[in-house]
Structure formats: structure tokens, C-alpha cells
Amino acid sequence: MLDEPFAGLDSVVRDQLVQTLLQRVEGATVVISSHDLHDLESFVSHVGYLDRGCLCFSEEISFLVERFREVEVTLGATPRMPVDWPKNWICRESSSAVVHFIETRFDSESTPTEINRRFVGSRNVSFTPMSLRAIFTAVARSSSGTA
């Protein structure tokens, strides 16, 4: 178990530490607790998120980054917000004719259908993949009530 193993390390030593870990852990599990998510994203296989002592999720990083998308919906007029927002749409914001939110259960078929159903007359919808840091920030904002 490693707690903030990259704190205070320069990039060369950081890379050496990662390479050493990867060479020596075959067949073992290494648990790393860190706020430096950019470094972890390049080599971890699984991630978990703890909030106030509760494990909110734990899954393969590839599945996590596939299911989170930043969504931008452009409408023809000032958006009417849906009354019944799905629970998996977090960090909602709107301005003029644009609505932004994070889809936590992205599916290339059902998500666009659901958006078109809730935002009739949308002109454009974009889905942007998110980094691990962006995902964790959105989840933290959502769970703290600032989303």
C-alpha cells in the first residue's frame, strides 16, 4: 500500500518509480492512494473512489472512462430544463441556449435517444471523453452538493 508515492518527486524519479513498480508487481496487487491522478491514469488497471469512508465505486479504469462523458446540448432558444433529470446526469449547468452536464452511464445508443427525448429541438449534441482527474472532480462536486 502506497500513500501519495509521487508527492515531491521530479518527473524523472517519478517515471523510475512507476517502472520499478510495474516490473516488480506481476501477480500482485498494489494499492495507491493519491490525489495526483494524471500519473495514475497512465498505468493503473483499476480505480476506486472513497467518499467519507464509503467506497462509491471500484472498477477497471477502461470501463470508468468509457461510461463518463461531458455532454453539451445546444438548443434553438433558452433551454427549458427537464423536471425529472436522470440521476446519472450530474454537474448540470446552463446558459442562454446551451446545457452542460456529465453523463455517468454513457451509452452510444441510449444516451443520445434520452437527450433528444428530454431536449426536443436540440440543434447539436456533443459527447467528450473525460480524463480520470475530470471524472473524479465531477464525482466529488456531485457528492458534495456543489454540482
| Residue whose entry in the numeric block shows the C-alpha cell 433528444 | 116
User: What three-state secondary structure class fits 45?
Assistant: coil
| Least confident stretch, 31-40, 54-63, 96-105 | 31-40
The residues pairing with 33 across neighbouring beta strands, listed in sequence order, are 3
Q: What pLDDT shows up at residue 78?
A: 64
**Is it the case that residue 31 has pLDDT exceeding 60?**
yes
Q: How many CB atoms lie within 10 A of CB 95?
A: 9
User: What three-state secondary structure class fits 37?
Assistant: helix
Q: Among 129, 110, 22, 115, which residue's Cα sits nearest to residue 69?
A: 129
Mean pLDDT of the chain: 86
Please write the tens of the pLDDT for every residue from 47-81. Answer: 998 888 888 889 999 999 999 999 999 987 665 67
Show Cβ contacts of residue 57 under 8 Å, excluding neighbours closer than 6 positions.
48, 49, 64
Q: What pLDDT shows up at residue 110?
A: 95
Q: Among 35, 64, 27, 30, which residue's Cα sits nearest to residue 47?
A: 64
87-110: average pLDDT: 90
Go through the domains of the chain in sequence order and give each one's CATH number: 2-64 (no CATH), 65-144 (3.30.70)
